Structure 1
């Protein structure tokens, strides 16, 4: 029975991960990794596709509100970071 439980544990991974933090910070990390060439989608720096793919497996939970941040919000933050127009935290 113990052997069966261990087998189930190995294959019982969560379908989604959760990141609790500040969404602007995770957007900064993603942009930085893409700019450094460490994060690609099919070998290309496709910011939209990379963020959509990451958001399909990782829920970014805003620590201030406790709500999951949408893909569109993460994309907006990434755009603002790339243009240097990221608004400060309220």
Structure 2
């Protein structure tokens, strides 16, 4: 199990990004959270297996109105006993 912090920039707010992320996380059994930041970016922490996280990012990127211009990614400590993926 691994956990990543992501920061997405581009056309990522007001386009269903958080809904798409939540739906993908639920389908793939991932946990964490997603948040619209004040600067127009979207921040997200996601935890699970590497393959499922990669599939989640691909699903988000295929969103009809979503256009990701840049992704920042950092490995962060796993959160024990986390059970859900939430919108903050």
TM-score (norm 2): 0.32
Greater helix share, 1 or 2?
Answer: 1
Greater strand share, 1 or 2?
Answer: 2
TM-score (norm 1): 0.31
